[in-house]
């Protein structure tokens, strides 16, 4: 019985260590324009289209990145291709324009939602 437990522990440790992303894959570098640069193992991007100020939470639903900015921006998300992706964006200036949020996978729009309300709140939940 003890042997089975030891073998199971060693097998789990081996699988866990070999499935973790490398340091290069998990490193995000933020450039001056607010976009993230990282390896192609993260195919998802969030595009926020709005002329005023906004606040958004986006990425893996268990680890959302928070961003606040003005105008249209695109962010690379830390979501591997097999994970779920969530985006929640809201107007901060109570403007009249349309707040549109797009989820892109490999630079193709796979989900989109928008709101023209003054307190516009837009949510996208995507399961690959």
Task: Read off the CATH number of the domain in which 108 is found.
Answer: 2.60.40
Say if residue 42's pLDDT is above 70: yes
pLDDT band at 4 (very low <50, low <70, confident <90, very high): very high
Q: 0.75 cut: is pTM over it?
A: no
Percentage of residues of the chain with pLDDT beyond 90: 41
Tens-digit pLDDT profile for residues 55-105: 999 988 888 889 999 999 999 887 766 678 899 999 998 888 899 999 998
- Residue 19, in any domain of the structure: no
The answer to whether residue 105 sits within a structural domain is: yes
**Edge-to-edge order in the sheet of strand 108-115:** 73-76, 44-49, 99-105, 108-115
13, part of any domain = no
**Residue 45 located in a structural domain:** yes
**What mean pLDDT is predicted for residues 8-13?**
88
Is the pLDDT at 38 greater than 50? The verdict is: no
Residue 5: inside a domain: no
Look at the chain and report how many structural domains it folds into. 1
Q: Please check whether residue 8 lies inside any domain of the structure.
A: no
Name the CA dihedral angle for 21, 27, 28, 29, rounded to a multiple of 10 degrees. -150
Inside any domain, residue 55: yes
Q: Is the pLDDT of residue 44 over 60?
A: yes
Joined tokens for residue 62: 């268990």
Query: Which residues touch 53 (CB under 8 Å, ≥6 apart)?
Result: 68, 69, 70, 91, 92, 93
The range of the structural domain enclosing residue 81 comes to 28-127
Task: Check pLDDT > 70 for residue 31.
Answer: no
Domain presence at residue 35? yes
């Amino acid at each position: 019985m003890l042997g089975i437990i030891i073998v199971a522990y060693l097998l789990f440790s081996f699988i866990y260590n070999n499935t973790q992303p490398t340091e290069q894959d998990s490193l995000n570098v933020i450039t001056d324009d607010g976009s993230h640069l990282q390896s192609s193992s993260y195919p998802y991007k969030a595009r926020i289209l709005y002329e005023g100020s906004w606040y958004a939470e986006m990425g893996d639903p268990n680890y959302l990145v928070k961003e606040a900015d003005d105008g249209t921006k695109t962010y690379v998300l830390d979501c591997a291709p097999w994970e779920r992706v969530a985006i929640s964006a809201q107007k901060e200036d109570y403007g009249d324009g349309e707040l549109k949020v797009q989820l892109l996978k490999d630079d193709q729009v796979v989900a989109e939602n928008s709101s023209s309300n003054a307190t516009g709140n837009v949510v996208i939940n995507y399961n690959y």
